[in-house]
Amino acid sequence: MKKLINDVGSVVADTLRGVAAAHPSLRVDVENRIIFRRDAPRPGKVGLVSGGGSGHEPLHGGYVGYGMLDAACPGEIFTSPVPDQIATATTGVDGGAGVLHIVKNYTGDVLNFEMAAELSGDEGVEVARVLVDDDVAVRDSLYTAGRRGTGATLFVEKIAGALAESGAPLAEVARVGREVNDRSRSFGVALTPCTTPAAGTPTFELGDAEIELGIGIHGEPGRTRAAHREAREIVRLAMDAIDDDLPLSGETLVMVNGMGGTPLMELYIVFAEVAAYLEEKGATAVRSLVGDYVTSLDMQGFSVTTCALTGELTRLWDAPVETPALRWGR
Amino acid sequence: MKKLINDVGSVVADTLRGVAAAHPSLRVDVENRIIFRRDAPRPGKVGLVSGGGSGHEPLHGGYVGYGMLDAACPGEIFTSPVPDQIATATTGVDGGAGVLHIVKNYTGDVLNFEMAAELSGDEGVEVARVLVDDDVAVRDSLYTAGRRGTGATLFVEKIAGALAESGAPLAEVARVGREVNDRSRSFGVALTPCTTPAAGTPTFELGDAEIELGIGIHGEPGRTRAAHREAREIVRLAMDAIDDDLPLSGETLVMVNGMGGTPLMELYIVFAEVAAYLEEKGATAVRSLVGDYVTSLDMQGFSVTTCALTGELTRLWDAPVETPALRWGR
C-alpha cells in the first residue's frame, strides 16, 4: 500500500490541518474534529450539521460554507462521528433558530446523531433530522437497516442549505430536505475495491473482468457481481434500477459521481449515456454535476443520483453557494 | 484493464458528447473536437485557445468559459491536437482582437500550434503564443526539448483569461501570460503509473515501495525513483526542487493537484505539509487549489505548482470565472 500520509493514526487530523490551511472561509477545530463555517453561528439562521466517516471527501467538509452546511463532523475512515463531537458542532452553530441534522442512513451514524440530538436538546437547542436513504441497490446491508444514504446527501445539503440561508424556519428546512430525499435515487458501480490506510489491503476482491453492481460507499458488498462490459450497458443496468424504483420523468437533477479513483473522462462518457437514457424515458437532465463528490478513497467506479425537480427545488439548487467543493453565484 | 468506455476508438468523441450534455454554457463540435464557449467569438475580445492530449481532464475543456478559455482542442489520449483542429478553433474564437495560444511545452504541441498559427494567419487572424514550461523536474524529456508544461497552464489560462475579459489587447494578454509562467514552478510525484485505454497496461512499472519523483503528466519517466516515505518527506523533496529553482517568498498561489486516482484526503494532507514548508521559507499560500486539475488518467500521486503573486496577478486570479472546473464570482 502506498498512500500520501504521515501516519495511519493521524490521517484525519492531518487532513483537517490541510483543510484549515487551504480554506480561510472555514474554521477548523482539529481537536474536536469539526469543520465550521467561519461566521457560524449566524443569529436567526437555522444551522445545518452533517457528518459521517472520513474517506468520502469532499463529503461532508467540502460542503461547509455559505448556502450549505454550517458544520461537518468527520469520523475516522468509514466510521461514524461520535455523539460528543456532533453535539459540540450542533451547539456551536445554533443561532437560536435550531439545527438540522442531515444523516446518511447507516446504523452507527443514526445512533450517534440521535444521541447528539439528545445532548444538544439538553443544552436547549432544537434539533430536527433528515435521514437520507436514496440508494436503491440493497434493502438492508452490512451497515444499514433499510436503504443506504449516498449521493442524495449532497442534494439535501445544498437545497436545505439554500432555504436556511433565506431565513426559513427549522420545520420548513427539514421539510424541503425530506422532499429532496424522497425525490432522489442512487445506484453505484465499482470497478475496483478501495484500500483504507489502516487495513492496507483492498476491502474486497474483484476479478480483472468483474464489476460490482450496487456498491456502497464503504466497499461493502453490492447487489450482484457481473462481467465487465461497455459503459452504455453498465449505465443501463444502473439506470434501470433507479427507474424501476421511481420512474424517471420531467426535469431532473443528475449527478454522475466518481468514487475517487475514476478518470474524469470516464465520468463524462458515463454522463453521455445517462443523458441518453433519460431522454429515452422522456426526462431531461436540466441540472447536472460530473465529478468526484461522494467518494470511497481510491475506488474506481461511479454512482448516479437523480432528483425529480420541482420549481422550488430548482430555484434552491440555483441559489448562490460558496463551499470548497461546490460554488456558484458568488 | 477495466475502464468505463464504450470502445477504445471512441473515447474522445464519447467524452465530448458527455461534456456537451453536461454543460449548456459550452458549444461542443464533436466532429472537429473543439469545445467552444457558447458565446464565442466575442467582438473586440482577445480569444484564448489551448489544447493538448486528452487524459488530463479537466485540462483543457474544463476551463472553457467566462473569464478563461474561449476554446479547447483535445487530441487523442496523450497525443497533440492537430493543426487543422487548432486553426478551426482559432478562427472560430477570433472577435477581431486576435487570439492567444496557450501551449504546454511538448514537441508535438509546439509544432502543431505553430502550424495552426500560420494557417490562422493566412485567414487574417493575429495570433500570439504563451509557452508554458513550469516543470522543474527535468531539463529535456521523452517528449520535450526544455522544460515540460504542467500545472502552471491552468494559472496562465485563468489569469490571462481574466485580463482578456477586461478588454485588454493581445500584447498585454500575452505579456501577463508569460509573466505567470515565469513566476510559476511545478514538481510532480507518482505513486502508481497510469493505464491508457489503447495500451491496456500500465505506462511503466513501479514497485510496491517505490515512488517516481519528478513525474510528467504522460507517465514519462521523472527525475529519479526513490523509496516510498511519509507525506511530509515527499513534500519536502518536491518543494526543495521548486525552491532551488526559484526561491519561494511572499504571497504565493499554490495548487496541490491530484493525478486522477489520488483520494482527496491525501491531497489535503499534502497541502498541510506544503503550507508548512512555505511558512518556513517566509512565504504564504494566500490563494490555493486542492484537487484534480491537471491529471494523468488514473495515476495516483500529486503535483505542486507555485506562482509568486503580484498585486495585478492576485486581482486577476480573483476576477470572476465560470467554467465547468473553476468557478467563482458568478
The CATH number for B90's domain is: 3.40.50.10440
Please name the member of B17, B232, B261 whose beta carbon is closest to the beta carbon of A298.
B261
Per CB-CB distance under 8 Å, the chain B contacts of A6 are 230-232, 269, 273
Residue type, A149: G
Could you give the percent of chain B with pLDDT greater than 90? Answer: 92
Contact across the interface for B21 and A271, Cβ inside 8 Å: yes
> Tens digit of pLDDT for each residue in B202-244?
988 899 999 999 998 887 778 899 999 999 999 999 999 999 9
- Report whether pLDDT(B140) > 80: no
Residues B79 and B165 in one domain: yes
pLDDT tens-digit readout, A237-284: 999 999 999 999 999 999 999 999 999 999 999 999 999 999 999 999
What pLDDT does residue A234 have?
A: 98
Residues B94 and B141 in one domain: yes
Q: Where in the sequence numbering do the catalytic residues of B fall? A: 56, 218
| C-beta atoms of A5 and B230 within 8 A | yes
pLDDT tens-digit series, residues B56-75: 999 999 999 999 999 999 99
Q: Is residue B128 part of a domain?
A: yes
Residue A177 sits in the same domain as residue A197: no
Q: How many H helices and E strands in chain A?
A: 8, 14
Note down the domain range covering A135.
8-183+319-328
- Cβ contact, residue pair B3, A266, below 8 Å: yes
In a domain, B323, yes or no: no
B216 and B307 in a single domain? The answer is yes
Same-domain check for residues B165 and B81:
yes
- Mean pLDDT confidence for A119-145: 90
Q: Please state whether beta strands A224-227 and A210-213 pair in parallel, antiparallel, or not at all (unpaired).
A: antiparallel
Distance (Å, rounded) from C-alpha B264 to C-alpha B260?
Answer: 10
The pLDDT value given to residue A222 = 82
Chain B residue numbers touching A329 (CB-CB < 8 A): 330
pLDDT of residue B20: 98
Query: Percentage of chain A with pLDDT > 90?
Result: 92
Query: Per-residue pLDDT averaged across B34-48, rounded?
Result: 98
User: At B272, which CATH number?
Assistant: 3.30.1180.20
Whether A230 and B298 lie within 8 Å, measured CB to CB: no
Best interface-test mutation with A: which of B11, B26, B265 has the largest number of A CBs within 10 A? B265
**Do B15 and A240 touch, CB atoms closer than 8 A?**
no
pLDDT band, very low/low/confident/very high, at A219 (cuts 50, 70, 90): confident
Of B126, B154, B176, the residue at which a domain comes to its end is B176
Q: Mean pLDDT, to the nearest integer, of B12-22?
A: 98
Residues 6+ apart with CB under 8 A from A135: A147, A148, A149, A150, A186, A187, A188, A214, A216
Alpha-carbon torsion (A146, A152, A158, A163), positive or negative: negative
Q: Could you give the 3-state DSSP secondary structure of residue B309?
A: coil
User: Which residues of chain B neighbour A285 with C-beta distances below 8 Å?
Assistant: 21-22
Average pLDDT value for chain A? 96
Instruction: Write out residues 217-246 of A within 8 Å (CB-CB) of B.
Output: 228, 230-232, 234
In a domain, B84, yes or no: yes
Residue B114 and residue B28 in one domain = yes
Distance from CA of B66 to the nearest CA of A (A): 13
Q: Is B3 inside a domain boundary?
A: no
pLDDT in tens, B100-136: 999 999 999 999 999 999 999 999 999 999 999 999 9
Do A196 and A179 belong to one domain? no
Q: Which of A70-79, A105-114, A261-270, B142-151 has the lowest mean pLDDT?
A: B142-151
Q: Is B62 exposed, middle or buried (0-12, 13-18, 19+ CB in 10 A)?
A: buried
Most B CBs within 10 Å, among A4, A195, A208, A302, to test the B interface:
A4
Q: Which residues pair with A73 in a beta bridge?
A: A51
How many Cα atoms within 13 Å fall on the side-chain side of residue B273? 24
Rounded distance between C-alpha atoms, residue A258 and residue B206, angstroms: 25
Is the same domain home to B193 and B301? Answer: yes
Instruction: Judge whether B2 lies within some domain.
Output: no
Q: Where do we find the cell 475514476?
A: A262
In a domain, B300, yes or no: yes
Residue that wins the pLDDT comparison between A19 and A217: A19
Q: What is the mean pLDDT of residues A209-231?
A: 90
* CB spacing of B18 vs A228 below 8 angstroms: no
Same domain, A37 and A124: yes
In the prediction, which pLDDT does A241 show? 96
Put simply, the answer to whether A4 touches B329 (Cβ < 8 Å) is: no
Residues of B in contact with A17 (CB under 8 A): 268, 272
Please list, in sequence order, all residues whose beta carbon lies within 8 angstroms of the beta carbon of residue A10, skipping any fewer than 6 positions away. Answer: none
- Chain A, 260 to 299: residues with Cβ < 8 Å from chain B are 260-273, 275, 285, 288, 290, 292, 295, 297-298
Phi and psi, residue B132, nearest 5°: -100, 125
The better pLDDT of the pair A208, A173 is held by: A173
Name the residue facing B262 among A4, A232, A285 (closest C-beta). Answer: A4
Cβ–Cβ under 8 Å, residues A52 and A65: no
Rounded CA-CA distance A184/A307 in Å is 4
Q: What is the mean pLDDT of residues A34-58?
A: 98
CB B303 within 8 A of CB B260: no
**Residue A117 sits in the same domain as residue A188:** no
CA distance B264 to A3: 11
Q: Read off the pLDDT of each residue in B1-9 and give the average, rounded to a whole number.
A: 95
Cβ-Cβ contacts under 8 Å, A192 against chain B = 2
User: Would you state the pLDDT for residue B216?
Assistant: 85
Contact B128, B170 (CB under 8 A): yes
Alpha-carbon gap: B123 to the closest alpha carbon of chain A (Å): 33
- Of the candidates A88, A98, A84, A93, the one whose C-alpha atom is nearest the C-alpha of residue A64 is A93
Q: Which of B54, B231, B263 sits opposite A6 (nearest CB)?
A: B231
pLDDT of residue B138: 82
Confirm whether A19 is domain-assigned. yes
Residue where a domain stops, chosen among B131, B147, B176:
B176
Residue A167 vs residues A44, A154, B61, B310: alpha-carbon distances, Å: 7, 20, 38, 40
Q: What's the pLDDT at B1?
A: 83
Q: Does A250 touch chain B (CB under 8 A)?
A: no
Q: Report helix, strand or coil for B56.
A: coil
Helix (H/G/I), strand (E/B), else coil: B139:
coil
Whether A13 and chain B come into contact, CB under 8 Å, resolves to no
| Count of the separate structural domains present in chain A | 2
Can you read off the three cell numbers belonging to residue A49? Answer: 450539521
Report CB contact under 8 Å: A55, B269.
no
Residue A298 lies in a domain: yes
Last residue of a domain, one of B137, B156, B176: B176
Query: Is residue A218 over pLDDT 90?
Result: no
The packing angle between helices B152-165 and B170-182, to 10°, is: 150
Is residue B192 less than 8 Å (CB to CB) from chain A? yes
The answer to whether A297 and B34 are in contact (CB under 8 A) is no
pLDDT at B143 over 80: no
At A144, is the pLDDT very low, low, confident or very high (cuts 50, 70, 90)?
A: confident
**CA distance linking residue B31 with residue B58, whole number of Å:** 20
Contact list in B for residue A270 (CB cut-off 8 A) is 4, 18
Whether residues A48 and A176 fall in one domain: yes
Same domain, B132 and B33: yes
Widest distance between CA atoms in chain B: 55
pLDDT-derived band at A92 (thresholds 50, 70, 90) equals: very high
